[in-house]
Amino acid sequence: MKTKSITTIFFLFFCYAFCFGQNASDTMIVKNINQLEWHPKTTLPPGAVSAVVYGDPTKGHYDFYAKFPKNYTVPMHWHTFECTVIIIKGSMTIKRNNAADVTITQGGFFTLPAKMKYIASTSDECIFLAHGENPFDIFYENPKDDPRNH
């Protein structure tokens, strides 16, 4: 009897939360990769494009897809804050000073620690999803590599 009462209370609580806890303004965001609006990534060398799918990378709490073409390289650079990355298509090689190169393949996950200096390169087209909780930025070790300076 006690178990039946607990089950009934749980069921009623669940029904209340489901029926009355929903907010009419709640929206589900759905963006399939073939429907994305790709835009040139002006902070990277020519050829890279991106599509923001959630939030605002300049403010933080964001997700965006990026696409690097075949044989693409982003010269030595770093980001102020950590971000996480999932490779959707292709692969990316991360080169760091005094560390072995690391290649992340399709489906792979990696973190980019805050202020870690690295070179990112691809041999084939690479599509990835980046997520961050803080504003996304990029600083080049050599200011001549920064396309914003041209």
State pTM to two decimals. Answer: 0.82
pLDDT at 85 over 50: yes
- Would 110 be classed as within a structural domain? yes
- Would 24 be classed as within a structural domain? no
Mean pLDDT value across residues 129-139 = 98
- Would 101 be classed as within a structural domain? yes
DSSP string, the chain: -HHHHHHHHHHHHHHHHHHHS--TT-------GGG---EE-TTSSTT-EEEEEEEETTTEEEEEEEEE-TT-EEEEEE-SS-EEEEEEESEEEEE-TTS--EEEETT-EEEE-TT--EEEE-SS-EEEEEEESS----EESSGGG-GGG-
Tally of structural domains, the chain = 1
Span 22-76, pLDDT tens digits: 455 678 999 999 999 999 999 999 999 999 999 999 999 999 999 999 999 999 9
- Would 17 be classed as within a structural domain? no
Q: Residue 148: is it exposed, middle or buried by C-beta count within 10 angstroms (0-12/13-18/19+)?
A: exposed
Residue 38, domain CATH: 2.60.120.10
- Would 26 be classed as within a structural domain? no
- Would 66 be classed as within a structural domain? yes
- Would 42 be classed as within a structural domain? yes
Compute φ and ψ for 5, nearest 5 degrees.
-65, -45
Residue type at 54 in one-letter notation: Y
Residue 1 confidence (pLDDT) = 53
- Would 20 be classed as within a structural domain? no
* 91: containing domain: 33-149
Q: Which residue has the higher pLDDT, 6 or 136?
A: 136
